[in-house]
Structures are given as C-alpha cells and as structure tokens.
C-alpha cells in the first residue's frame, strides 16, 4: 500500500519534523511505500538547515524561508540549489525514519 504524506501548509518550519514523524508513524515505514509532497520535502530540508545553523550558534543571525536563507547581519539572501535541498531532505528523512523504526 502506498502512502502520500502531504504538506499541511499550516505548520511552521519548527513544527514540521513533529508533523512528519506523526505522519510516518501511520505508514508501513517502508521507503518504497511512502510518497512525500515536494513542498514538504523543501520544508524538511529547510528545517534541517535551520538545525545545523542553530547548532553552530547562529540561531539569531538568520531567517529561513522555502529555498533560501536571509542573513540578518549583512542583509544578504542566499538561495540553496535543488541539489542542496534534496541532500538536506534526504538526510532529515533518513534520520526521522530511523527514529520511527527505533534504529
């Protein structure tokens, strides 16, 4: 059975991992059975990037939005490549999925 996990469009980036985990727990947890909405993939990737920046003591220095970061101290905006977003999504997905499986 295939499972489609849609973007809820109401969760902030800080809440998206919890939402995604809860949705994953309603599936078979088999990667081949799970289809994830593209916008949700970007949100998960951006949440992962936010986690990385926060762990490096940069929590108050940026704002994240879908596909880019705005640096508060310089005013610059940096857009992430599709490859970077896909990589960060895959990293977050594997981590959350393994947590759901108890690995």
At residue 74, the pLDDT reads 95
Mean pLDDT rounded to a whole number for the chain: 94
- Choice between 11 and 98, residue whose per-residue pLDDT is larger: 98
Stretch 16-20: mean pLDDT = 94
- Evaluated on CA atoms 43, 49, 54, 55, the torsion sign reads positive
Distance, CA of 53 to CA of 64 (rounded, Å): 10
The yes-or-no verdict on residue 14 having pLDDT over 90 is: no
Residue 9 banded pLDDT, cuts 50, 70, 90: confident
Looking up tokens 């594997």 gives: 94
Give percent helix, percent strand, percent coil of the chain, each to the nearest 5.
50, 15, 30
If residue 5 lies in a helix (H) or strand (E), which one and from where to where?
strand 3-5
Residue 11 banded pLDDT, cuts 50, 70, 90: confident
What the block records as the tokens of 83 is: 């490859």
């Amino acid at each position: 059975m295939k499972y489609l996990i849609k973007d809820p469009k109401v969760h902030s980036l800080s809440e998206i991992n919890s939402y995604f985990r809860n949705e994953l727990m309603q599936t078979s947890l088999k990667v081949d059975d799970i289809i994830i909405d593209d916008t949700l993939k970007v949100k998960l990737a951006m949440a992962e990037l936010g986690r990385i920046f926060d762990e490096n003591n940069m929590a108050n220095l940026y704002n994240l939005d879908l596909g880019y970061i705005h640096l508060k101290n310089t005013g610059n905006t940096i857009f992430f490549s599709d490859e970077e977003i896909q990589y960060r999504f895959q990293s977050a997905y594997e981590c959350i999925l393994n947590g759901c499986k108890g690995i």
